[in-house]
A and B are shown apart, each in its own frame.
Chain A
Amino acid sequence: GAVVSQHPSRVICKSGTSVKIECRSLDFQATTMFWYRQFPKQSLMLMATSNEGSKATYEQGVEKDKFLINHASLTLSTLTVTSAHPEDSSFYICSARDRVAGANGYTFGSGTRLTVV
């Protein structure tokens, strides 16, 4: 089945630094990639939707200059958390839609646990 590889799985960084998270679709073309964030005991919240070759669409309240999304190819999307602060510590998950698979074709990466100290 469809696989989305997400790296790193865990990262600890100092406040003020930037962190890049990568998601790759391994055996399908991900024209659309979704980025979610999940705080403890909370639901996954959609942060942004990225389409290959175009600018990402951000959800209300998500700062586009802080969370930079690049979707330069059909198999790779990256999320960069710039000038990270402790409140950015969270579980970040990407999801890609395999359109060939239809409405059920949402595949999730394994997530990145970010801790900002």
Chain B
Amino acid sequence: RKEVEQDPGPFNVPEGATVAFNCTYSNSASQSFFWYRQDCRKEPKLLMSVYSSGNEDGRFTAQLNRASQYISLLIRDSKLSDSATYLCVVNSYSGGGADGLTFGKGTHLIIQP
């Protein structure tokens, strides 16, 4: 079972629509959760952290369900510039002290004019 699973898409969405992505993670001991955005041939950039109570940043809303081990991202009023790959990222601190991030493969979003 993969550690972090996402639907790769692509999601083709008209401009202005609302789109939602989900992600599941396998390690119940995971402690930190993030959504990153990666543009083609670029490094990932932090979009937002995901908190247990859910959090919102402008048009973006993130939710975490620890019981079901899934994370969601909602984008409202989508813009052409939202076209990118969205990476679900989990941090599971290991006993060895290594705390690198575990990335999903990403969900590819295409906003169409």
Contacts and interface: CB of A to CB of B under 8 A. Distances in A.
Q: Do A and B come from one complex?
A: yes
Interface of A: 32, 34, 36, 41-46, 49, 57, 91, 93, 95, 97, 103-104, 106, 108-111, 113
A43 B100 contact: no
A108 B44 contact: yes
Interface string B40-54: 011111100100000
Range of interface residues on B (Cβ < 8 Å) = 20 to 34
A42 B101 contact: no
B110 interface: no
Given A34-B100, A57-B98, A103-B32, A44 B46 contact: no
A95 B44 CA distance: 10
Given A43-B87, A43-B105, A44-B103, A104 B98 contact: no
Interface in B45-104: 45-46, 49, 87, 91, 96, 98-104
